[in-house]
């Protein structure tokens, strides 16, 4: 199993319940591919660097997980099929990035 990190931006016109529902949908997709979710962070509504679909803000969500490489296609297909997702990025973490992510999580818990 490899460690991955995915960040996706949801459209700002969603209510809090709709946003949580969308995040849970993607967590269910991860569970269906046998992924182990390590960390989830909701970064909230942030300004975009440039307009996407005439929207200047979006809800940012980060999920760290461990999964098999074949499951990433399933996750990204789910992102592409959902019109609530403006952008997404999934990256495989090497051992240094994974160590940094763990260190970052631990310092967040202390705050």
Summarize pLDDT for 80-95 with one digit per residue, the tens.
Answer: 999 999 999 999 999 9
Instruction: Tell me how far apart the alpha carbons of residues 36 and 27 are, in angstroms, rounded to a whole number.
Output: 10
Looking at residue 111, its pLDDT comes to 66
In order of start, what are the domains of the chain with their CATH numbers? Answer: 2-110 (3.30.70.60)
Instruction: Tell me how far apart the alpha carbons of residues 99 and 96 are, in angstroms, rounded to a whole number.
Output: 5
> Residue 35: is its pLDDT beyond 70?
yes
Burial of 4 (0-12, 13-18, 19+ CB in 10 A): buried
Phi then psi dihedrals of residue 31, to 5 deg:
-65, -35
pLDDT digits (tens, 9 = 90+) for 65-79: 999 999 999 999 999
Name the pTM for this structure. Answer: 0.90
Looking at residue 107, its pLDDT comes to 85
* Mean pLDDT value across the chain: 93
Contact assessment for residue 63 and residue 37, using Cβ atoms and an 8 Å cutoff: yes
């Amino acid at each position: 199993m490899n460690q991955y990190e995915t960040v996706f931006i949801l459209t700002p016109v969603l209510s809090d319940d709709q946003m949580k529902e969308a995040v849970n949908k993607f967590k269910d997709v991860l569970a269906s591919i046998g992924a182990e979710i390590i960390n989830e962070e909701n970064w909230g509504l942030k300004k975009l660097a440039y307009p996407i679909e005439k929207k200047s803000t979006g809800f940012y969500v980060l999920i760290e997980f461990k999964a098999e490489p074949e499951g990433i296609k399933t996750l990204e297909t789910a992102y592409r099929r959902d019109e609530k997702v403006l952008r997404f990025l999934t990256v495989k973490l090497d051992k240094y990035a994974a160590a940094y992510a763990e260190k970052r999580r631990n310092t967040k818990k202390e705050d």
